[in-house]
Amino acid sequence: MPFNLKGRNFLALKDFSPKEIQFLLDLSIKLKRDKYAGIRSRNLEGKNIALIFEKPSTRTRCAFTVACIDEGAHPEYLGKDDIQLGKKETVKDTARVLGRMFDGIEFRGFKHETVLGLAEHAGVPVWNGLTDLFHPTQILADFMTIIEIFGHLRGIKFAYVGDGRNNMANSLMIGCAKMGMDCRIVSPKSLFPAKDIVAMAEGFAKETGASITITDKVDTGVKGVDVIYTDVWASMGEEDKIPERIKLLKPYQINKEMEKKIGNPDYIFLHCLPCFHNLDTKLSQQFPEICEATDDIFESKHSKVFDEAENRLHTIKAVMVATLGR
């Protein structure tokens, strides 16, 4: 059944019902099929879209840009040094200016309050492209990938292993709760998710039959899961915490030993990316032990991370089309 999401913001999954989330996922699958078939609907013809990025991005920026162009809109990238937001101008004033010129605004940055402020004052749909608290468009791509492989979300056994209090853990927990999944957050006690987010997830879980488990025990946490998910050990803006996180999270690395603990030959590995997997990058040269997933997992047949990355495009397109399209 179609849902009318026109004019809505997309700030956090908590604001959407399970049926609305399912509608966005169904639309994403349709838009992917259309793109593969060469069908261009140009649902956003003539629209101007502002893309505000306080933090760097590969996937989210490119997904918004390509989705805009596929649908006939004009994307305008506004990097942190390009605009006055937070420097010479308040969020409220910037929102009111951009709202007069643009039809929709994407924001990626630090404080969740900033995206809330933009949404309050812009008068046009605002989409959250990641804040310190939530990364909701990523979860749509993750869930779309799970549906492509398993055919459904309800009852899927899902373990997120790693930093349990970051934007990914928060959003996955809420998303899993909304969609009736068996969600385990597996992390050291000192990185357990905030109590208010857990309580919110548990509230949704009661309505949908989902289960939410927070544990520091890897063995029981990952046992039998269909999906194992991890994220970087230190998020953007937390680079000074890398040495302590390496110590804390080494036992939570996704590797062959963990694969044995999962014990499900059909499990899949997901990661929002970018991922440290025995890499030779600037940061991993500085911190050789930083590696949340070993290469033999990242490059294995279980890894669906590039399908997941591609699905950022189709899901972000669905969010824009549903909230702003004709």
Q: What residues make contact with ligand CP under the rule CB under 6 A?
A: 57-60, 130, 138, 272-273
Give the pair of three-digit tokens for residue 8.
Answer: 């809505």
Range list of β-strands (E), 92-226? 104-108, 126-128, 157-161, 182-186, 211-215
Q: Which of 70, 132, 226, 231 is catalytic?
A: 231
Separation between Cα atoms, residue 132 and residue 12, nearest integer Å = 12
Task: Give residue for tokens 């804390």.
Answer: 248
| C-beta of 106 vs 231, nearer to ligand NVA | 231
Active site residue 291: no
Strands, sheet with 126-128, edge to edge from the N-terminal-most edge strand: 74-79, 48-53, 104-108, 126-128
Active site residue 312: yes
Residues 6+ apart with CB under 8 A from 244: none
Site for ligand NVA in 242-271 (CB under 6 A): none
Residue 14, contacted partner among ligand NVA, ligand CP, none, CB below 5-8 A by kind:
none
Min dist CB 257 to ligand CP, Å, is: 26
| C-beta of 9 vs 138, nearer to ligand CP | 138
Instruction: Report residue 240: phi and psi, to 5°.
Output: -65, -15
Q: How many residues bind ligand NVA (CB under 6 A)?
A: 10
Give the pair of three-digit tokens for residue 302.
Answer: 């279980």
Active site residue 59: no
Q: Which of 68, 176, 183, 272 is catalytic?
A: 272
Residue 168, contacted partner among ligand CP, ligand NVA, none, CB below 5-8 A by kind:
ligand NVA
**What CA–CA distances, in Å, run from 312 to 219, 265, 291?**
31, 26, 23
Q: Which of 138, 163, 271, 302 is catalytic?
A: 138
| C-beta of 144 vs 324, nearer to ligand NVA | 144
Separation between Cα atoms, residue 318 and residue 250, nearest integer Å = 37
Min dist CB 136 to ligand NVA, Å, is: 12
Site for ligand NVA in 149-178 (CB under 6 A): 166-168
Which residues are part of the catalytic machinery? 108, 135, 138, 231, 272, 312
